[in-house]
Amino acid sequence: MNQYQFSAPPLTKINKFIILSTGICFLLYSILKAVGAFNLVSLLGLSGSGLMSGFIFQLVTYPFMETQLMGFIFNSLVVWFIGSELEAQWGRKVYLRFLLINLIVVGLIFVLINTVFFFGTGYYSTPLHGLNGINFAMLMAYALLYPDRQMSLMMIFPMRARTFCWILAGIEAYMALFSGLTSSWAHLLAMGVTYLIIKFQNRPLISKALHSEFEKKKRSKNHLYVVKDEDQKPPKFWQ
């Protein structure tokens, strides 16, 4: 494929699941909000109070919670355009592990910071949600793999993928510092984790996490039986 050409790849299986799951959660959120029921974001979004209450599943479910239609559409397009090419490049297993590592590491650090610095405040209970974190991780990976690919800022200004990525990082840094958005810190963290994964992918720990196969150990059939008298030879060992 031409290094300088960007085109939409076929929608791959994992990204199809991500978009479909996010769409279902968005519809449920909209319906529950319309009927005045509970806020689904507080259940599936990630927050310090939620995780400390035992909602461990929030570490995986928080990216699926979109609350705005345009946000859902735009973020889904990024998952399709960027994520599908990454999945085709890496393979399904490595791509899935990359996403899970990023989600869990970012989520744990986000909750840790909220717990240490914002315990008892509104930030502590404010949930992190949406596909933005995954998208920033994908964009960072894409910029590192294809730095000279052409992308468009605001669908108007063409530039290299590397430049596009760093401009987005600068915007998020500004939002984090001057707008008080804790989600922007999480997005920057997602980009940082991705940078470390890509740059140090050959290190044993990261390589094993991304590429190792978990083989099932074969267990022999072991039979236990009752020894009826002392002269009967007991079973030796089972392996």
Contact 81/149 with Cβ under 8 angstroms? no
For the stretch 30-42, pLDDT in tens is: 999 888 878 899 8
Q: What structural domains does the chain harbor? A: 13-209 (1.20.1540.10)
Burial class (CB in 10 A: 0-12, 13-18, 19+), 25: buried
Q: What is the pTM of this model?
A: 0.79
Q: Where do runs of H (alpha helix) occur along the chain?
A: 13-34, 40-44, 48-52, 58-61, 69-78, 84-90, 92-118, 122-125, 132-145, 161-178, 182-199, 204-211
- SS3 category, 153: strand
For the stretch 112-142, pLDDT in tens is: 988 887 777 777 788 899 999 999 999 999 9
Local confidence pLDDT in tens for the 239 residues of the chain: 444 455 567 889 999 999 999 999 999 999 998 888 788 998 999 988 888 888 999 999 999 999 999 999 999 999 998 999 899 989 999 999 999 999 999 999 988 988 887 777 777 788 899 999 999 999 999 999 888 887 766 556 777 888 888 888 898 888 888 876 778 888 999 999 999 999 888 888 888 888 865 444 444 444 444 444 445 454 443 33
